[in-house]
Amino acid sequence: MRNIAAVILAGGYGTRVKHLLPNVPKPMASVADKPFLEWILRYLKSQGITQNILSTGYLSEVIEEHFQNKPVPDIEVSCYQEKQPLGTAGGFLNAVEQSQISPNAWLVMNGDSLIVAKLKEMASYLDYTGVDCVILGVSVEDASRYGSLEIDESGNLLSFAEKRQGAGIINGGVYLFRHQVLEKFPYQHPLSFEYDVFPTLLKEKVAIKVHQIKAPFLDIGTPETLPKAEAFILENFSNLLNPC
């Protein structure tokens, strides 16, 4: 797929599941005989993305050691550590700056969640010169655990809404940015995508599209969802079970 590099945010402490994963960072939780983070990289490879950057923090050495052995062939994986908590967008920018590369666009994902989405469809929005950012929005029947996305009839982002009951379009935590739009990010630390970056971009009249899909979605960030990860992988990513 076009010149897109992925940054996977894998630096959090995973407070809610830390007791279930002693001495293991949350994205490295073992799922179907592989770390969850490796499944994300295998998924990205299946979508045509082979240049990957891992933004690490807590127990970064565990992540770095695993991927030094190149368990997924024919992709590039670099790890860049946060020396202090920088927030989601801060960790992303830290990884971008250390990588010293300039792809046409950056794909941002969380290291503890996975959505069954065709990324080419999401990337196709960048065929339009007026679009600088795309958010993957997942339609769900119960949006109470997540913030919802408010959009207009054309799929443009209007705002982030607070958590609320009922059906809605939730923020899947998957973002696509043209490289040049990073210059418009606020300069502060810590820096959040939801609370800092997107409100600033909206004020700057940056066109932000929401690619709305209905798709299986899992995050492993709670004691209730972590045990569901293996069944989710086996059901939705059976094509990735064999070596890539």
Strand pairing class (51-56; 148-151): unpaired
* Tens of pLDDT, residues 55-82: 998 888 999 999 998 999 999 999 999 9
- Determine the topology of domain 4-239 in CATH: Spore Coat Polysaccharide Biosynthesis Protein SpsA; Chain A (3.90.550)
Mean pLDDT of 179-187: 96
What torsion, rounded to 10 degrees, do the Cα atoms 213, 51, 199, 119 define?
A: -10
Report domain extents, the chain.
4-239
Q: Which amino acid is at 88?
A: T
Strand pairing class (157-161; 105-110): unpaired
- CB-CB neighbours of 223 under 10 Å: 11
Instruction: Answer yes or no: are the C-beta atoms of 55 and 62 closer than 8 Å.
Output: no
Nearest by Cα to 44 from 89, 14, 7, 88: 7
Q: How far is CA 133 from CA 7, 164, 174, 184, in A?
A: 15, 25, 11, 12
Please indicate, yes or no, whether the overall pTM of this predicted structure exceeds 0.85.
Answer: yes
Q: Give the pLDDT score at 159.
A: 92
Instruction: Answer yes or no: are the C-beta atoms of 137 and 171 closer than 8 Å.
Output: yes
- CB-CB neighbours of 162 under 10 Å: 6
Please check the confidence at residue 191 and state whether its pLDDT lies above 50: yes
Please check the confidence at residue 13 and state whether its pLDDT lies above 80: no
Beta bridge partners of residue 211, listed in sequence order = 136
User: Residue 61: which H helix or E strand, with range?
Assistant: helix 60-68
Percent of the chain at pLDDT above 70? Answer: 94
Under the banding of pLDDT at 50, 70 and 90, the label for residue 244 is very low
Is the backbone peptide bond immediately before 190 cis, with ω within 30 degrees of 0? Answer: yes
As given in the structure block, the two tokens for residue 83 are: 């020396």
As given in the structure block, the two tokens for residue 45 are: 């490879």
Nearest by Cα to 103 from 156, 36, 178: 178
Please check the confidence at residue 17 and state whether its pLDDT lies above 80: no
Distance CA 182, CA 193 (A): 12
- CB-CB neighbours of 241 under 10 Å: 13
The region of weakest confidence among 13-22, 49-58, 230-239 is: 13-22
